[in-house]
A and B are shown apart, each in its own frame.
With several copies, the nearest count.
Chain A
């Protein structure tokens, strides 16, 4: 890097040379901030004391040069150039009290902060990489031993299981699967069977209640079951196309008739 003092306002020859050297290597920069950081080094001062105004000038000179040399700069370099031109004008012109927004000094201070922070990150990154590293300076165990997963199945049975098992075998002839006792249930199968036998005579509309089994009306539980299954059986028969159903009104008796010839 060529010498460039911080007070060469018009951009000395050295400054220009430095800028040109940078341009040749423009692909080597990781964005405008990186370029600014490199440029700031030419000021040879602590980053905290950097002259942002000088830096802006250096950067703009750099961009001008690049344009003159017809080097295409990525958009973000140009955005930064525009912003720095703005910053430069803010820093040079006396502050306008009517103008809103941050002052030129605030913006410059933030830029200086960004540069300092980036530099700090680079320094610690270098420190980090200079540390002793695993697999390079210190080493892990060469012969490793994996923890074996041993899966053990333990079967259990209780005395009760055993006795029930034995009881089951010794009594299997008496054994019948558990079923609900169905004395009070008139199944749909029963209803269907009964109705199939009767519908042959149902030429005219008859209430389905007349198909209820005999002797089931005494017990209300039985009656309810018989009603449900008879109704379900009627629907089944209607689905099969054996009968027609009708009901004149809600809750009116449902009537049934044989469906002829079809």
Chain B
């Protein structure tokens, strides 16, 4: 109650004197070191004293760790510290036996990554076989994919998109950095081309989905 003024003055004061950038860099360093998961800039700012600018501190920190045994890496809109990939050979002890993904799961994952947001029907159309529930469940459970927005077509089917964990796992800064993405797009292989003449609705639905892809992707790429 009566502390309101006190808090206010505190906040006001810190507006003028955020910790020096060197201190902010130390703070970001400590926070990133503490967790295994990537931390968003927002979360960093929330945890740091008022007035701190995590984004700027990150620029300095990233530079500092260039070429070191551990690096500051960007994962989507989050940041993490990871060991340098060339030192992987030292870590045999740390290697966790990852569950072997079936060929179907790997293909499904790739289709989701490159075509996102994508519906189950579209995945099936691309692979030419039905997608087993287990495959999608496995990818969801690994938190490499998640549900995206529903497609605004009849039936309002759910879509799938890849997650930040996916980007983290494959060392990708953003989905834009997927290998070969540009080439595929240039070759028109990411287009949702309907089979000719088969379904009269297809054309309409397609326009919608094109829009959504645009939207969904910008969403993915922007943040």
Contact = CB atoms under 8 A, between A and B. Distances in A.
Given A110-B193, A174-B193, A137 B85 contact: yes
Interface string A159-178: 10111111111111111000
B106 A129 contact: yes
B3 to A, nearest CB: 8
A136 B94 CA distance: 8
Contact of B111 (A116, A121, A149, A171): A121
Contact of A106 (B35, B82, B83, B197): B197
Contacts of B2: 158
Contacts of B82: 134, 138-140, 143
Nearest to B102: A155
Interface stretch (B53-61, B153-161, B169-177, B215-223): B169-177
A125 interface: yes
Contact of B106 (A114, A125, A131, A150): A125
A127 interface: yes
A98 interface: no
B114 A121 contact: yes
Contact of B129 (A31, A148, A159): A31
Given A32-B128, A149-B95, A116 B171 contact: no
B99 A156 contact: yes
B106 A161 contact: yes
B37 to A, nearest CB: 7
A118 interface: yes
Given A136-B98, A138-B82, A168 B170 contact: no
B180 interface: yes
Given A143-B80, A171-B195, A154 B98 contact: yes
A118 B93 CA distance: 37
Interface residues of A, number: 70
Contact of A171 (B138, B172, B190): B190
A166 B184 contact: yes
Interface string B24-42: 0000001001111100000
29 contacts: A31-B128, A32-B128, A33-B128, A101-B197, A120-B189, A121-B110, A124-B180, A125-B107, A131-B172, A135-B95, A136-B88, A138-B83, A138-B85, A140-B82, A141-B33, A142-B94, A143-B35, A144-B36, A148-B93, A157-B169, A163-B189, A166-B110, A166-B184, A167-B184, A169-B126, A170-B190, A173-B198, A173-B199, A174-B191
Given A124-B114, A140-B80, 14 more contacts: A113-B193, A116-B187, A125-B107, A132-B85, A136-B95, A149-B93, A150-B92, A155-B100, A162-B113, A165-B109, A169-B126, A171-B195, A173-B196, A174-B199
